[in-house]
Amino acid sequence: MPVTEALCFLDPINRLPGFRAGWIGRLDDVPVTTDRDETLARLRPRHEEIVAREFGGDRWWRAEQVHGCGVARIPGAEIRIAGDGLPVVPGVDGLITCEPGEILGIYVADCGAIWLADRGSGAVGMLHSGKKGTELGILTEAIRQMGDRFGTRPADLVVVLGPCIRPPDYEIDFAAEIARQARAAGVGEFHDRGDNTACDLATHYSYRIEKGCTGRMLGLIVREETP
């Protein structure tokens, strides 16, 4: 599913001036394996093609995604080369920035991708929040850091939770907990269309249903550069 087909659930952000959010869903013409790095390397050329077309660039920042609650500010974060040969910000599951043109990306295949857009400061964030990250409160931590670093007020935030695995296909309803955390933090707008990755393998990858032999969807956000 190319970025342009994702505009429905990302409309709450894409209708805001100065923000661009995207989602690259399942690409069935790309073979996948149980090796995450090998699969990401295979997906990368297609992802680059789509990002270049939709965002005007072919590079994006990505988190290592260790199922924690670490959040890094972009640019300036440490990077290292991941197993697929491409740079990654180590030890974190979230990326935030207030700099125009810095594309943030998060890979998921059942865990939740969370987009954050601050209507006040223009700051943006992308988070990876599955069972563990949600238990550790990565959304709460990202909101705190955006406040400390960019002056973000929770009431100015538009937050979107993307497709993720949900009951009855998963025993933990972490999507409901993410929504609760958003309310507790005072988020101005929280949106979740309720899509279950386990129910639609024509559109989504699902690590659990496909027993690890699967790809990754890519969530993207950028604060657009002013002309």
Look at strands 94-97 and 104-108 and give their pairing. Answer: unpaired
Q: How confident is the model at residue 227 (pLDDT cuts 50, 70, 90)?
A: low
Across the range 46-53, mean pLDDT stands at 93
| Residue 220, beta-bridge partner list | 22, 105
pTM of the model: 0.94
Q: List the CATH code of the domain at 3-223.
A: 3.60.140.10
pLDDT in tens, 64-123: 999 999 999 999 889 998 887 788 999 999 999 999 999 999 999 999 999 999 999 999
Q: Domain-by-domain residue ranges, the chain?
A: 3-223
Total residue count of the chain as it appears in this document: 227
Phi/psi of residue 97, nearest 5 degrees: -160, 155
Closest CA to 140 of 106, 175, 187, 174: 187
List, in order, residues 6 or more apart from 197 with CB less than 8 Å away: 109, 110, 163, 164, 165, 204, 205, 206, 209
